[in-house]
Structure 1
Amino acid sequence: MKRLATALMLLGASQSSLAFDFVSVAEPAILYDANSLKAKKLFVATRYLPLEEVVDLANWVKVRDSSGKLYWIEKRNLSNKRYVMVTVPLAVVRSDPTENSQVVFKAAQQLGLEWLANTGTGWIKVRHADGSVGYLKSTDVWGD
């Protein structure tokens, strides 16, 4: 029984150490299939696109998008300023992290919002490009 508890504790610790950081595209940038300018160009990522950092090399970063696909991007094209992308048809951003609070604005699917904080209660604080700030459910976005 003691061994099982220890194994479960180690498994939890190893999974938490595998947590990846999120970065965002600073300006439109090319995503490649390998870490070289000579590699195949796959597509252009838009500004504010959140990406999950998987591998960080000197000048390149291997990233994962919301669909789970992996790409390489030049590190100079990334920002540590975090953004999230709305994944539901219409997300409601509220004044407080509760269902009954006032609606600040509604965000359409694929809109990028600046990530400000995670409340730890299933809500995140975000900022719209127009400066409006509010809270939305973390399940309504990708990149948190």
Structure 2
Amino acid sequence: MKRLAAAALALALIAPLAHALEFRSVKETGVALYESPSITAKKLFVVSRYYPVEVLGTQKEWARVRDATGGIAWIPAAALSTQRWLLVTAERASVHASASDTAPANFIVPKDGVVELVELPRAGWVKVRHRDGSEGYAKISDLWGL
């Protein structure tokens, strides 16, 4: 009986780790997010191109998403891209030549700006690209969408 309880507890602790977060980005400017999965539903707000969202689930042609503020809404699934963009949540994000605070800053991105994910994060840093093509490394603590 103790083994069964221990196995159940282990499964309960591991199961959430098995479900990977799915982040996507909005494909075009001016896409509405809705209260429910219908174009006749109340529009909650409009988002810009590249805006990242976390996909919580899907229902036919709709995706239920969460934004960086924790707000939950519905968006037409066709409006989402697999291209990954990250939102700057800090006052500003310095993007460095290498993954180090002492490396020169290539550019700065202000709060609510976006950068494209180039490589998966390692050791607290992530390689990103600006829309102008400039690349570098930003601290993951300054970004949302990973």
* Offset of residue 119 of structure 1: 3.1
Q: Percent identity?
A: 37
Which of 107, 110, 119 does residue 108 from structure 1 map onto? Answer: 110
Q: Distance in 1 between matches of 2:8 and 2:124?
A: 29
| Aligned-partner Cα distance in 1 for 2:6–2:127 | 36
RMSD over aligned Cα, in angstroms?
1.6
How many angstroms apart in 2 are the aligned matches of 1:8 and 1:96? Answer: 42
2:69 and 2:79 mapped to 1: Cα distance?
20
TM-score (norm: length of structure 2)? 0.91
Mapped partners of 1:98, 1:8: distance in 2: 39
Q: How far did residue 7 of structure 1 move?
A: 4.3
Aligned residue pairs total 144
Partner in structure 2 of residue 88 of structure 1: 90
Corresponding residue for 2:27? 26
Partner of 1:16, secondary structure, is helix
Q: Distance in 2 between matches of 1:73 and 1:141?
A: 22
SS state at 2:24 partner? strand
- Runs of at least 5 residues in structure 1 that lack an aligned partner in the other structure: none
2:72 maps to: 70
Q: Which residue of 1 aligns with 2:10?
A: 9
**TM superposition shift of 1:57:** 2.3
The partner residue of 1:53 within 52, 55, 63 is 55
SS class of match (1:117): coil
Once residues 88 and 82 of structure 1 are traced to their aligned partners in structure 2, the CA distance between those partners, rounded to angstroms, is 19
